Amino acid sequence: MSAPKAPRHLSRATADWWRSVTRDYQLEPHHVRLLTLAAEAWDRCQQAREALDAYGLVFLDRHGGVKPRPEVAIERDNRVAFARLLRELDLDGEPLPDPRPPRR
C-alpha cells in the first residue's frame, strides 16, 4: 500500500510533518484523519499568530474600549485542539491514564 499524500491545503512545513508522521508510524485510517485535523489546527494557530504579530492583541471598538482581537481566541482554540489531537494519536506509544472521570 502506498503512503497517503499530505492534504494540499496544509502549509509546506506542516505537510512535511504530516508526511514524516505517516512515514514513521503505522496509522489506521481514523488516525490519519486525526493527524490531518491536528495539522489543520496547527496551521490555523500559526495563521492567527501571524495576524497577532502584525496587528497586535487588541483593538479599539467604536466606543474606544479595548477588545481582544478575534485571532486571540482562534490561536487559543487551535492550540487546545492540536494538543488534544496529539494526545489522541498517542505517537509516543506510552499508555496514558484517561484524564476523564469514570462514568457512573
| Domain assignments of the chain as residue spans, ordered by start | 28-89
Please write the tens of the pLDDT for every residue from 51-72. 999 999 999 999 999 999 999 9
Is the separation of the CB atoms in 69 and 57 below 8 Å? yes
Does 77 have pLDDT greater than 60? yes
Task: Enumerate the β-bridge partners of residue 65.
Answer: none
pLDDT band (50, 70, 90) for residue 92: confident
Please write the tens of the pLDDT for every residue from 17-28. 999 999 999 999
The mean pLDDT value for 5-10 works out to 96
Q: Which pLDDT belongs to residue 99?
A: 65
The residues near 46 (Cβ < 8 Å, ≥ 6 apart) are: 11, 14
Q: Using DSSP, state whether 28 is helix, strand or coil.
A: coil
Task: Enumerate the β-bridge partners of residue 66.
Answer: 60
